[in-house]
Copies of this chain bind each other. A is one copy, B any other.
Amino acid sequence: MRVPFRRVNLTNGEHFDLYDTSGPYTDADAALDLRRGLPPRPGVVSDRGTQLQRARAGEVTAEMAFIAAREGLAPELVRAEVAQGRAVIPANHNHPEAEPMIIGKAFAVKVNANIGNSAVSSSIADEVDKMVWATRWGADTIMDLSTGRDIHLTREWILRNSPVPVGTVPIYQALEKVNGDPVALTWECYRDTVIEQCEQGVDYMTVHAGVLLRYVPLTANRVTGIVSRGGSIMAAWCLAHHQESFLYTHFAELCEILQRYDVTFSLGDGLRPGSIADANDAAQFAELRTLGELTKIAKSHGVQVMIEGPGHVPMHKIVENVRLEEELCDEAPFYTLGPLTTDIAPAYDHITSAIGAAMIAQAGTAMLCYVTPKEHLGLPDRKDVKDGVIAYKIAAHAADLAKGHPRAQERDDALSRARFEFRWHDQFALSLDPDTAREFHDETLPAEPAKTAHFCSMCGPKFCSMRITQDIRDAMAEKSKEFAEHGNQVYLPLA
């Protein structure tokens, strides 16, 4: 078994291994060809049911063993959490290119990056590039949210080249098939789209099956109505047909399809709040209750489930979302979009939402869907993807620290030791974005000797507190030595 890590060789002779999501793309020895796709991992078992079913049967699968080594945790913990439905391993039998990973609150908090074109913007090559770029910076899964041209082909390229699980929202492609008219959608069209995507290898699918006809009027007085694309599409369908959503009425059939491939449900929050004013309202929580019912049905079919969450939520209303989700949905992993903690900063919503994401992950959310600086304003480009991923890696890691994940603080300590010892190259190498850290240092002190200097341009040589601290430690050591010579005492507080 080969488990991926990124090894950082430090200038003091030590090394530090980082969890790595970038697949072979950052491996100097890998022979890559986007047209041929990544090599499949060997030994994928497709005839013994889902990871959930196998975990219940007491089996530690190859994927679970891989994940345990990757996270530095016991294989039995992985199995037990999956068996309980508190964690999911999104791994479609038809996507052997992906490296197994786990989403659950007992594990490191994960980050998803949304990519995909819209009718207004982008191309297949751009989107494959964004996938590689996002995983380079640490995205644990990718969602292909394409709504524009060539949806099937774009997804094919992404799947065959993605080292991480890929999620989709099948209703988008179904809507394209009926020329964008929600009213023309049918169960049959939707079902066929789901099967098409299962066959391709999609690992998890967002299904907005909790948007019931009777919930739609609950959104009538909202400030921002229904802001989930899938939610608004299904609400429009229900209302036009005056019928219950076909996603809800055909849910058991959907379970049977997903079970065959081990595709994980991501039960979508179609009625999530789109503004601070709408947070934690009746519509949102009514839907969450329905998602709880659907969770039980899915699990009874042996299908893995996670639950999507908001959205826009002020800080004091964040924890309630997690508690309620855990209570109603049997502790299925929570997968939230931010939440944004204020509406007033378009162009900075990676920050408004990193605050909410860190807090909701601390409370137990297992995966965070990133938000980029372009949220509400346009389709993210390459720079936005990186900014979004980095902001969310920060939020996820801050939560890992707060939750006491066994490996989290080791990285902070290694970086801080490098900082204190003025090993600038090591400080950069251990950081989330070595390129930018180095570039910022270069701006004022570009010469190589500055990379071992005992100061930087922030405080300058005379005011560098860490340099002064070294002097203080020398002085303390000196005093300690004096004491030892004059009576074998250790250095003690003096005043």
Contacts and interface: CB of A to CB of B under 8 A. Distances in A.
A122 to B, nearest CB: 9
A459 B411 contact: no
A213 B465 contact: no
A472 interface: yes
A276 interface: yes
Interface in A315-356: 315-316, 341-348, 350-352, 354-355
B456 A377 contact: yes
A355 B229 contact: no
Nearest to A494: B213
B473 A275 contact: no
Q: Is the interface of A mostly helix, strand, loop or mixed?
A: helix
B314 A402 contact: yes
B469 A226 contact: yes
A58 interface: no
Interface stretch (A89-97, A159-167, A235-243): A235-243
A121 interface: yes
Per assembly, the copies of the chain total 2
A233 to B, nearest CB: 7
Contact of A232 (B120, B375, B469, B491): B469
A214 interface: yes
B413 A458 contact: no
A391 B427 CA distance: 24
A342 B216 contact: no
Contact of A462 (B175, B411, B416): B175
Interface in A146-200: 147-148, 172, 175, 180, 182
Contacts of A458: 118, 374-379
B445 A378 contact: yes
A471 B402 CA distance: 44
A276 B460 contact: no
Contact of A226 (B225, B348, B468, B494): B468
A51 interface: no
Interface centre among A121, A225, A399, A440 (most CB of B within 10 A): A440
A11 interface: no
Interface in A100-136: 118-121
Contacts of A427: 346, 376
A439 to B, nearest CB: 8
Nearest to A242: B494
Contacts of A465: 225-229, 231-232, 274
A80 interface: no
A476 interface: yes
A358 interface: yes
Interface stretch (A19-27, A254-262, A294-302, A428-436): A428-436
Contact of A437 (B276, B377, B416, B443): B377
Nearest to A276: B412
B476 A216 contact: yes
Contacts of A364: none
Given A416-B275, A445-B120, A355 B398 contact: yes
A237 to B, nearest CB: 10
Nearest to A381: B443
A238 B476 CA distance: 11
Interface of A: 118-121, 147-148, 172, 175, 180, 182, 212-220, 223-229, 231-233, 235-236, 238-240, 242, 244, 274-277, 314-316, 341-348, 350-352, 354-355, 358-359, 362, 373-379, 381, 390-391, 393-395, 397-399, 401-403, 409, 411-413, 415-417, 419-420, 427-428, 430-433, 436-437, 439-441, 443-445, 456-466, 468-473, 475-476, 479, 491-495
30 contacts: A118-B463, A119-B460, A121-B444, A147-B459, A147-B460, A148-B460, A214-B495, A217-B492, A218-B493, A226-B472, A229-B465, A232-B472, A236-B468, A239-B472, A274-B420, A275-B412, A277-B413, A315-B358, A315-B399, A341-B394, A341-B401, A342-B412, A347-B431, A348-B432, A351-B351, A355-B394, A355-B395, A359-B359, A378-B457, A379-B444
Given A119-B463, A148-B460, 9 more contacts: A119-B462, A225-B465, A225-B469, A231-B465, A277-B412, A315-B362, A315-B402, A316-B401, A378-B444
